[in-house]
Amino acid sequence: GFRQPVVSWELAGTRAKEAATLLARHSYTKEAQLRVAMNGTVAKDNRSQVQHRLKDLKAAKPVSQNSSVTWAYLAGLFDAEGYVQVPPDRNSICLHIKQKYDEILHVLVSFLEDEGLNRLNSFKIYHVGNVF
C-alpha cells in the first residue's frame, strides 16, 4: 500500500525538553502534547499512562495559549494542509486550508483580516456543507 515519507526525531532528556519547549511556543494544535514532551524522558512505569494521555490529547479539540499567527505559521500550515485550486467556472484562483477544527480556521481568518486582507471579503469557512 501507499506509505508517506516520515521524519522521525527521537530525543531524550535535556534535548527533548529544549525541542519540545521551542516547538510549544509556536504550536497551535499540538501545544498540550508538547507540554507532556517537555518532561524529556518517560520512566518505564509511566509509559502506558503517558501514551494514553497523548492519545487523549490528540483526540481533543486544541486549546492553545498561542493564538498569534504569523505569515511563517500560515505558510507552514498551508504547506502541510493547503492546496491551490482553479475553479472551472470562475476566473480566479482559490487557496484552501483544510483543518479538523473550526477554531483554527477562525484564528487564521482573523489574522488575514488583521493583515488588511478583509477588504477582499473572500474568506469562507466551510463545515459540513455550511459556510460560516
Within 13 Å and on the Cβ side, how many CA atoms surround 79?
6
Q: What is the pLDDT of residue 85?
A: 87
pLDDT band at residue 11 using 50, 70 and 90 as cut-offs: confident
CB 21 within 8 A of CB 38: yes
Higher pLDDT, 100 or 34: 34
The three three-digit cell numbers of residue 99, written as one number: 483543518
- 97 bridge partner residues: 82
Q: What is the mean pLDDT of residues 4-26?
A: 83
The three three-digit cell numbers of residue 95, written as one number: 487557496
Could you report the per-residue pLDDT of 48-93, keeping only the tens digit for each?
999 999 999 888 877 666 567 888 888 888 898 888 988 888 887 8
Q: What is the pLDDT of residue 61?
A: 77
Q: What is the pLDDT of residue 81?
A: 87
Question: With 50 as the cut, is the pLDDT of residue 128 above it?
Answer: no
Question: With 60 as the cut, is the pLDDT of residue 130 above it?
Answer: no
